[in-house]
A and B are shown apart, each in its own frame.
Chain A
Amino acid sequence: MAESKVISDCKVVIIGGSAGSLHALMDILPAIPRIDSFALVIVLHRRGGDDQTLEGLIKIKTKIPVRIIEDKVSFLPGFLYVAPSNYHLLFENNDTLALDTSEKVNYSRPSIDVSFESAAEVYGKNLVGILLSGSNADGTEGIKAIQKAGGTIIIQDPASAEMPFMPNNAILNTTPDYILNTQEILNFILSINN
């Protein structure tokens, strides 16, 4: 299934997840050698406060250079970005990132919906959105927005997710382009723009 549609004009891959998604990411990230033609963004539910444990953990597991997100940091292909704790991550028209401390959405800040919707606004059909394991409804509205804007959406197969609620909820409310397990998600990412 993953081979049926070739993604050739992708600028951004954005991955959202909550409970159980870190394990999935740790299966996927170490096997990606490099990404030259697009940027990779990870939005995970995480504890509040100024905490960089997640960035540290991801840095150890990936060969892709990780750029720490600060206000208005430039957003470039080839790099991996992690939404910081206690901020919503937004995308500006001029390829920079913006942060926002407004109300939590789906009890979460960062919220997957907020980042997915904002990325869909700016990157439209050049966006691939991937939703992983989780036990909360966050992500569904964001996935919808990406699809509406012409992007590609991939949901982790609930059978392979530690916490199937989040992918199930997205599958019930959208028509995903792909439903894949972590190995298939990895293969998909490796095929992008090739």
Chain B
Amino acid sequence: MIADIELETFINDVYEYYGFDFGSYSKASLKRRVTRIFLLDGFTNFYDFLSKVKYDPEYYKRVVDEITVNVTEMFRDPSFYKIVRNEILPVLATKPFIRLWHAGCSTGEEVYSMAILLKEAGLLDRSLIYATDINSKVLETAKKGIFPLRMMKEYSDNYRDSGGQQDFSNYYIANYGNVKFNQDLTAKMVFSQHNLVSDHSFNEFDMILCRNVLIYFDNDLQKRAISLFDESLSVLGFLALGTKETIKYSIASGKYKQLEKEKVWQKVK
């Protein structure tokens, strides 16, 4: 692994040259990610790597894309999606129009999962899902709605475990080892680049999903992101985080009510 001092130099230089601040990222994970790309691209000397990052903006972009973790899956944690299906969507159904924000959506698998739930609840027509990520490359994939066919067995099992009763393959067309999800799902998604470290609130939402993104931030940056979500959430709106994440340390208690033991909070005032 790269040394702590090398990581600090990397953070400082990236900030100085590109204005991007990795300083509030969780160090243990960042160190692993930087080491990974350093080795993957065949470097042996850290300062060769660093000068390539500094003087080659295209390479810098690659490094940022590779550092941010883009591993996701459809219906990750089926029990969470069951709660969405059975307890959250019936509440959202009382609204004339439903706005959702999927922050840190990566390649979009969870966005398509949500669209399928909305469709099955008969709500997709009056819903709009804003899906954002810091990484422009993953957003291109998400927009296309094309995913590897080999993943569908696992996703189909997750879908069923989340309470899905349809034939999962109705939602896509398979071709050449890939599948393309149906256009009626994609039509209700708006993809754009958004940086939780530096960008502001851009709309008011009835539900915000940000799952397994905050684990990469330190406590201060988590607080910033959660207050950004708070500003962007309507009263009685829902905030959903990853199964190991919490808002407990970031926001005054009493403002949000947790749904039993789930990582979902409803804004009550």
Q: Does chain A have a CB within 8 A of B215? A: yes
- Cα A114 to Cα B28 with chains together (Å): 11
Given A50-B80, A98-B215, A102-B71: A70 and B29 interface contact (C-beta under 8 Å): no
Query: Which residue in A71, A91, A118, A121 is a CB contact (below 8 Å) of B245?
Result: A71
CB distance from B24 to the nearest CB of A (A): 13
A71, B244: Cβ atoms under 8 Å?
yes
- Cα A2 to Cα B77 with chains together (Å): 43
- Cα A84 to Cα B242 with chains together (Å): 13
A50, B77: Cβ atoms under 8 Å?
yes
Q: Restricting to B41-56, which residues have a CB under 8 Å from any CB of A?
A: none
Q: Does chain A have a CB within 8 A of B227? A: no
A91, B243: Cβ atoms under 8 Å?
no
B69, A100: Cβ atoms under 8 Å?
yes
A118, B244: Cβ atoms under 8 Å?
no
Give the residues in chain B near A87, CB-CB below 8 Å.
215, 244
Q: Does chain A have a CB within 8 A of B31? A: yes
Give the residues in chain B near A122, CB-CB below 8 Å.
28
B: which residues have CB within 8 A of A?
Answer: 1, 4, 26-29, 31-33, 69, 71-72, 76-80, 212, 214-216, 219, 242-246
A: which residues have CB within 8 A of B?
Answer: 49-50, 69-72, 84, 86-87, 90-93, 98-103, 114, 117-118, 121-122
List 14 additional A-B contacts (Cβ < 8 Å) besides A92-B26, A103-B71.
A49-B77, A49-B78, A50-B77, A70-B245, A71-B242, A72-B219, A87-B244, A90-B28, A92-B28, A93-B27, A100-B28, A101-B242, A117-B1, A118-B32
